[in-house]
Amino acid sequence: MEIPDPSSRCPVREQRARWERKRACTARELLETERRYQEQLGLVATYFLGILKAKGTLRPPERQALFGSWELIHGASLMLLPYLEEGHWGQGLEGFCHHLELYTQFAANAERSQTTLQEQLKKNKRFRRFVHLQEGRPEFGGLKLQDLLPLPLQRLQQYENLVVALAENTGPNSPDHQQLTRAARLISETAQRVHSIGQKQKNEQHLRRIQALLSGRQAKGLTSGRWFLRQGWLLVVPSSGEPRPRMFFLFSDVLLMAKPRSPLHLLQSGTFACKALYPMAQCQLCRVFGHSGGPCGGLLSLSFPREKLLLMSTDQEELSHWYHSLTLAISSQKN
């Protein structure tokens, strides 16, 4: 048997062979997952959207709020799949990119969709019974409607991973290299916009929750337009006397210190009164002790032009999280 001469190996050919294997593997995964995705889109369109339209269980505005651009997204997948099945990756994905705005619209409606679902399940008996019946179909494999609604946004993340990998493993001399590279860029940009929309929606949820926890005239509008970072209990160490527990809410521009209302208060029990608002742009932060990661907790010093705060925690890890979050807030105000 003749042993191959190592010197006859061609690194360029080997690299091309690796690219081709990865490309074929990625293309196969994209095709298989697209088939499953289209099937799930179709199931929801048929057994939820279609029947709801026919029965009139939900009024058109409520149905639109719940499903958003679902049918149009399903249509875009129906157009893409034949190209993938025929191996026309570049042409198919280039055409698909014309429909990416549907995913941005779907993301912008996501919070409204979940709110509408919960409201209708709570107050609409016919709708509640209908959803329960449809969710029991074997085609859905035990998935609930609320699990199915985020499907397009989950698929967009898969598109980004797979199409970027497909483009990276397509040689520059391939006829669809430019189309795949362009598609990867456009899908990544859309995924980033969708991620930003999701982050903004989560932040707004936090702000509404915190605003509901704050009571009193001083609390009105305190959270409006802010970016939430962290909340939790810390001990305020006075110049004399015992440390006092206070609830702190950290935003990108301010640190809010609040005191719990008396549980005996009839109207405001369980809420917090705002005691102080500290601007992060004027804060100088120092870790007094608690660098070693030991079990004794630590102490943070926050200096402002007219006041100095000493904040203590017996939880070393929790204090470290606060230190990093405060550092982030301070640096964001100085940039």
Across 71-75, 193-197, 261-265, least confident range? 261-265
CA distances from 160 to 100, 260, 295 (A): 12, 46, 44
Across 34-48, 167-181, 228-242, 283-297, least confident range? 283-297
HEC secondary structure over 8-36:
HCCHHHHHHHHHHHHHHHHHHHHHHHHHH
Phi, psi of 223 (to 5 degrees): -95, -5
Model pLDDT for residues 109-149, shown as the tens digit of each residue:
999 999 999 999 999 999 999 999 999 999 999 999 999 99
Tell me, yes or no, if the pTM score tops 0.85.
no
Q: If you search the block for the tokens 């939430």, which residue do you land on? A: 228
* Cβ atoms 103, 132 nearer than 8 A: no
Q: If you search the block for the tokens 């062979």, which residue do you land on? A: 17
pLDDT above 90 (res 20): no
Structure tokens at 109: 């409606």
3-state secondary structure of 157: helix
Helix orientation angle between 151-168 and 177-213, rounded to the nearest 10 degrees: 140
DSSP category for residue 49: I
* Cβ atoms 287, 305 nearer than 8 A: no
pLDDT above 80 (res 19): no
Identify the band that residue 266 occupies on the pLDDT scale cut at 50, 70 and 90: low
Q: To 10 degrees, the CA torsion angle through 275, 281, 286, 290?
A: 60
Structure tokens at 36: 């499953």
Q: To 10 degrees, the CA torsion angle through 172, 176, 182, 187?
A: -120
CB-based burial of residue 194 (10 Å sphere; 0-12 exposed, 13-18 middle, 19+ buried)?
A: buried
Model pLDDT for residues 62-85, shown as the tens digit of each residue:
999 999 999 999 999 999 999 999
Bridge partner list, 287: 300
Q: Tell me how many degrees the CA angle 281-284-290 measures, rounded to the nearest 5.
A: 135
* Cβ atoms 252, 199 nearer than 8 A: no
| Strand (E) or helix (H) holding 69 | none
Average pLDDT, the chain: 90
| Strand (E) or helix (H) holding 53 | helix 51-55
pLDDT above 60 (res 2): no
Strands (E), the chain: 214-215, 228-236, 244-251, 254-260, 272-279, 284-289, 298-304, 307-313
pLDDT above 60 (res 293): no
Q: Tell me how many degrees the CA angle 304-307-312 measures, rounded to the nearest 5.
A: 90
